[in-house]
Chains A and B, each alone.
Chain A
Amino acid sequence: MKDLTRKLLNPFGSEAIEREVEEELRFHLDLLTEQHLQHADTLDEARASALRQFGDVEQVTDECVEISKRQRLFTRALKSFLVLTFLAGVFVRIFGTEINVLRFGDMLIAVAVMGRLFLYVRDLKPAGFRPKSDTSSPLKLNSSAKTPASLFDINNP
């Protein structure tokens, strides 16, 4: 119930989207700071270099959140349409009397079920998606580098 209320008050999951974008960018900035830490004298210096290389954090965050919201809005609209189509099909099946009307109801239900199935399959991640844990990767970090959980908060750069 609490979850439903939150969804109704926040239909596009704005907070969750913002949190996700911020976490993703924070990950990048932390690794970038670690990278610069190898050549910088202080953490502040490394952080400043990382921010310079990254660009405008706030603007990037805003753009990503906006795109994510748009994408989620489209998906939700499509899902709602499919639910309504399904309900309309069921309604027609229950109250329809003529054979053609009943067939139309069947068609609506079939379209809704197939549409939902398509969305479900599209959301499935193939096994090959899992990232490889390649030890020879050039992205491997220097284990001797200082690795605080989060070197800084992107909300307060």
Chain B
Amino acid sequence: MAHDRTDLMQGTLELLILKTLSHESMHGYGIAQRIHQSVDDLLKIEDGSLYPALYRMEERGWLASEWGVSENNRRAKFYKLTRSGRKHLDAERANWDRISRAVTKILQTA
């Protein structure tokens, strides 16, 4: 079934991360699990690809990170959305809706 899954479009992973972190702070493993559960195996995402994205997003000021203790009492790095990240999520979500509607329209008429 793996060949039926869709590879991620550029920028989509960032949007998924932003959305995942919009309710609570999480560590990388938690983010990966939540995304896998949400996309229901429809998208092919390597867990490792999350980290460069997380680091880049932190560099851009969309995320903040802090070391804390995980649910199994191990030291883990937790990520949280910043105010700038929340704004970016809103903008990207609107952008995604627009593109999605446009592509769907084209596919239906073509």
Contacts and interface: CB of A to CB of B under 8 A. Distances in A.
A83 interface: no
Given A138-B34, A139-B33, A24 B24 contact: no
Interface stretch (B11-19, B66-74, B87-95): B66-74
B20 to A, nearest CB: 12
B33 A138 contact: yes
B34 to A, nearest CB: 7
B27 A125 contact: no
A155 to B, nearest CB: 15
Interface residues of B, number: 34
A144 B48 CA distance: 26
Given A63-B51, A67-B52, A125-B64, 13 more contacts: A23-B75, A27-B70, A54-B48, A60-B49, A63-B55, A64-B52, A125-B66, A129-B64, A131-B26, A134-B24, A134-B71, A138-B33, A139-B71
18 contacts: A20-B77, A21-B51, A24-B76, A27-B75, A27-B76, A27-B77, A28-B29, A30-B74, A54-B48, A56-B48, A60-B48, A60-B49, A67-B52, A67-B55, A129-B25, A139-B71, A140-B71, A147-B72
